[in-house]
């Protein structure tokens, strides 16, 4: 039996319970999306085919729409020293922010395939990618729409904060 007395809140304390809610929109067909969203999904899908994934064989593509209308595409890049690889989302964001440092990212679309076939269920960005996406969103003070495409479902979030409501930001570095 585990003793939970030290981790359970004191009922007499001034502790407040806070609930965090995330909102995603779910679609079942690419045709339900806007033309621009469909284009981004198709570009991300094309980018995934060029992924360098000799180890996992898990192809991920990302396409970013910048505020200036430019579309940036990228894919995951693996390395035999596994921590040295890079996800498609970070590859795209780092390129976009290096080439267009003052231009906000409006939308990011992510697709994936395994064994030559698109995945059935959307894959979310990993924790490291979410942190980078949040930094970019905060940097430009513009919400970033996230589209996660798969054959059976499509999820859309209107900002990175839907995934990472308590993300580490520059305010944390200031001690604020």
Question: Tell me: the pLDDT tens digits for 70-98?
Answer: 999 999 999 999 888 999 999 999 999 99
CA-angle at 86, arms to 81 and 87, nearest 5°: 135
Residue 14 included in any domain: no
Question: Tell me: the pLDDT tens digits for 115-160?
Answer: 999 999 999 999 999 999 999 999 999 999 999 999 999 999 999 9
Residue 50 included in any domain: yes
Residue 20 included in any domain: no
Has 89 been annotated as catalytic?
yes
Q: What pLDDT band is residue 4 in, cutting at 50, 70 and 90?
A: low
The active-site residue out of 43, 78, 89, 113 is: 89
Phi, psi of 161 (to 5 degrees): -60, -20
Residue 18 included in any domain: no
CATH number of 88's domain: 3.40.140.10
- How far is the C-alpha of 166 from the C-alpha of 59, rounded, in Å? 29
Question: Tell me: the pLDDT tens digits for 33-58?
Answer: 999 999 999 999 999 999 999 999 99
The structural domain count of the chain equals 1
- How far is the C-alpha of 176 from the C-alpha of 165, rounded, in Å? 17
pLDDT value, residue 117: 94
Residue 19 included in any domain: no
Q: Determine contact, residues 38/44, Cβ cutoff 8 Å.
A: no
């Amino acid at each position: 039996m585990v003793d939970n007395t030290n981790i359970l809140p004191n009922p007499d304390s001034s502790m407040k319970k806070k609930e965090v809610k995330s909102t995603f929109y779910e679609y079942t067909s690419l045709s339900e999306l806007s033309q621009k969203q469909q284009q981004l999904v198709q570009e991300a899908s094309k980018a995934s085919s060029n992924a360098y994934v000799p180890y996992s064989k898990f192809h991920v593509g990302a396409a970013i729409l910048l505020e200036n209308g430019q579309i940036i595409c990228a894919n995951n890049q693996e390395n035999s020293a596994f921590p040295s690889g890079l996800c498609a989302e970070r590859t795209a964001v780092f390129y976009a922010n290096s080439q267009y440092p003052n231009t906000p990212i409006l939308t990011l679309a992510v697709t994936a395939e395994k064994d030559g076939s698109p995945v059935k269920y959307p894959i979310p960005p990993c924790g490291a990618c979410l942190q980078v996406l949040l930094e970019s969103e905060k940097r430009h003070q513009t919400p970033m729409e996230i589209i996660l495409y798969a054959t059976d479902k499509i999820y859309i979030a209107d900002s990175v904060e839907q995934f990472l409501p308590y993300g580490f930001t520059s305010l944390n570095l200031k001690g604020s």
